[in-house]
Amino acid sequence: MDFIQTVVLALVQGFSEFLPISSSAHLILVPKITHWQDQGLGFDVVVHMGTLSAIVFYYRTIIKTLIYDFFYSVVKVQTIGQSKMAWGVLLGTIPVGLAGLLFKDFIEVNLRSVEIIAYSTLIFGLLLGLSSWMNAKNAAPREQLTWIDVGFIGLMQALALIPGTSRSGVTITAGLLVGLSIKKSTQFAFLLSIPVITLSALLMLLDLYQQPQTADWPMLILGFIVAGVSAYLTVVFFIKLLDTIGLMPFVVYRIILGVLLLTL
């Protein structure tokens, strides 16, 4: 990989990982347009680690509270502070973790075509639009998670294993469908991304260990930094703009992207 390819793909990963637009769709579309060769598993690992470091840094204060309250709730056998949210993140990750282990090979072989990604981009984009419209009609969206919410959002997150779905998009959609506010849905979706991205990076590291590749360390370090910084800025501005622009611009963008992918 040269400098331009590294920066462009790292920016694509950083900008699209947390927006409800599907990073997998973009990482397929850009090489198609530019005729670049596959960037390699090592690059995928480092840009995922970059986006992971961004979301952990952004939520660092909340994460400290979640960890403390989680262990305190275990010791005291009672709910305290943010312990319910911490348990929600843990339990909500189980469905996608199990689905990933069971269907990883099937997905890699059968569901990574441009056509599948295009249709999932369209379908889940329209579902995001429906949930956003329903949320706008809701006079009193909730700010508190229930265990039913956690279960439903966790199950919906498992669908994000289908390329083009968008992990953040489908979890935000699920939160809106159960009546949570857009900010609460987004916060829980982003917190859920931490264990998911961690598990994904670990699985890629295992594959990388089994299929060692020559590492271009300067480009890998550059990819990590660019992905991390762009992901952090994306999260900051996305959350700030939610009240102003809502989610509909992303719905329109997904429809356009899905149609574009179908033409490839």
84-127 per-position pLDDT tens digit: 999 999 999 999 999 988 998 898 888 888 899 999 999 999 99
pLDDT at 169: 96
Span 135-172, pLDDT tens digits: 989 888 999 999 999 999 999 999 999 989 999 999 99
What is the pLDDT confidence band of residue 198, given thresholds at 50, 70 and 90?
Answer: very high
The rounded percent of the chain whose pLDDT value lies above 70 is: 99
Compute the average pLDDT of residues 203-222.
81
What are the φ and ψ backbone dihedral angles of 212, each rounded to 5 degrees?
A: -60, 140
Q: What is the pLDDT of residues 221-240, one digit of tens each?
A: 999 999 999 999 999 999 99
Residue type, 149: D
Question: Is pLDDT at 248 greater than 90 in this prediction?
Answer: yes
| Average pLDDT score over residue span 177-197 | 96
Residue 142's SS3 state is strand
Give the residue from 49, 61, 46 showing the smallest Cα distance to 191.
61
Helix, strand, coil fractions of the chain, as percent rounded to 5: 80, 0, 20
CA distance 231 to 245: 19
Average pLDDT for 187-197: 96
Nearest-angstrom CA–CA distance, 222 and 6: 7
How far apart, in whole angstroms, are the C-alpha atoms of residue 22 and residue 208?
A: 24
Residue 93 neighbours by CB under 8 Å, 6+ apart: 154, 157, 192, 195, 196, 199
Q: What is the pLDDT of residue 108?
A: 81
Q: Give the Cα separation of 66 and 98 in Å (integer).
A: 23
Tell me if 95 sits within 8 A of 158, measured CB to CB.
yes
pLDDT at 181 over 70: yes
- Alpha-carbon distance of 179 to 185, in angstroms, equals 9
User: How high is the pLDDT of residue 35?
Assistant: 85
The alpha carbon of residue 109 and the mean position of all alpha carbons in its chain are separated, in whole angstroms, by 21
Q: What is the pLDDT of residue 212?
A: 67
